[in-house]
Amino acid sequence: MGTRKILVFQHVAWEILGTLDPMFRDSGFRIRYVNFDRKPEARPTLSRYRGLIVLGGPMNVDQSDRYPHLLTELRVIEQALEREIPVLGICLGAQLLAKVLGGEVGRSARPEIGWVAVERTEASRNDPVLWNFAEREMIFQWHGDTFEVPRSGVHLARSSDCPGQAFRYGDKVYGFQFHLEVDEALIERWLTLPEHRVLLERHGFCVDEIRRATAVHVARGTELARRTFGAFVSLFGPRRVTTLPSR
């Protein structure tokens, strides 16, 4: 079957695979980032790739006039669904995925930034990826937009201000509004970005409160990420092992 490769769509330098990166590499995958911030004209294809990850970003899904690459991403997501390969959309990525599937995407009731209580739905109990969630988990968030769970999707998680927190389409396609991939270092990086500090002040979020909450919740977040992403990686099938010929 050749080398297992994953295609990753990136929109800004600080939105990365995070804790998901080593899990793919340890499972024998090669990762190719397409950074649309650096190369907005990129036209990636899915040939030779076993799955697609679409990361977050500050833009909205309807800003294709300003960010034409969003149209490219929508087309590639459509192709990934047609090929029935695993897909994971995180934050903006989940919104793009929802849009492709016919769900509405728009402003959230209020921005969710920091650690937010996320509740599982009944459907998540038997989900192969989110089954390990407790009834209520504190998960890191950073978004002002959100998605409506597509009619063809299975609703997996919600929060009080954002019903669309997670969904599954088919057997191998997931959209997560939350940022399960972050660790303490990545959260600190986000908190110290000048453009983020302006956003936090505008909406009345306290950086020190988020840091204190991080100290309380990050260990559980890391463990939940390990279990959840481990289950997602398993959707690709077992790692291919090369057997050397006997002498």
Distance CA 141, CA 112 (A): 6
Beta strands in the chain (DSSP E): 4-10, 29-35, 51-54, 87-90, 105-120, 136-147, 154-158, 166-169, 173-176
Tell me if 245 is assigned to some domain.
Answer: no
Q: What CATH number does the domain containing 227 carry?
A: 3.40.50.880
Q: Which of 2 and 200 is assigned the larger pLDDT? A: 200
- Whether the per-residue pLDDT at 117 is higher than 80: the answer is yes
Tell me if 243 is assigned to some domain.
Answer: no
Distance CA 195, CA 75 (A): 30
Distance CA 30, CA 194 (A): 33
Range of the domain at 9: 4-234
Given 11, 15, 91, 137, which residue is catalytic?
A: 91
> How many domains in the chain?
1
pLDDT at 239: 63
Tokens 């986000």 correspond to what residue? 190
Residue range 33-72, pLDDT digits in tens: 999 999 999 999 999 999 999 999 999 999 999 999 999 9
Given 11, 15, 181, 196, which residue is catalytic?
A: 181
Per-residue pLDDT, averaged over 95-116, amounts to: 94
Tell me if 242 is assigned to some domain.
Answer: no
User: Given pLDDT bands bounded at 50, 70 and 90, which one contains residue 247?
Assistant: very low
Residue range 124-182, pLDDT digits in tens: 999 999 999 999 999 999 999 999 999 999 999 999 999 999 999 999 999 999 999 99
Per-residue pLDDT, averaged over 221-247, amounts to: 75
- Whether the per-residue pLDDT at 225 is higher than 60: the answer is yes
Tell me if 97 is assigned to some domain.
Answer: yes
Given 69, 143, 179, 196, which residue is catalytic?
A: 179
Name beta bridge partners: 137: 118
Active site residue 179: yes
pLDDT at 120: 96
Tell me if 107 is assigned to some domain.
Answer: yes
Tell me if 133 is assigned to some domain.
Answer: yes
Distance CA 168, CA 199 (A): 30
pLDDT at 36: 95
Tell me if 53 is assigned to some domain.
Answer: yes
Active site residue 162: no
32-36, 52-56, 77-81, 196-200: least confidently modelled range:
196-200
Q: Closest Cα partner for 207 from 191, 190, 196, 221? A: 191
Q: State the pTM of this model.
A: 0.93
139-148, 198-207, 208-217: least confidently modelled range:
198-207
- Whether the per-residue pLDDT at 111 is higher than 70: the answer is yes
Tell me if 148 is assigned to some domain.
Answer: yes
Per-residue pLDDT, averaged over 5-12, amounts to: 96
User: Given pLDDT bands bounded at 50, 70 and 90, which one contains residue 112?
Assistant: very high
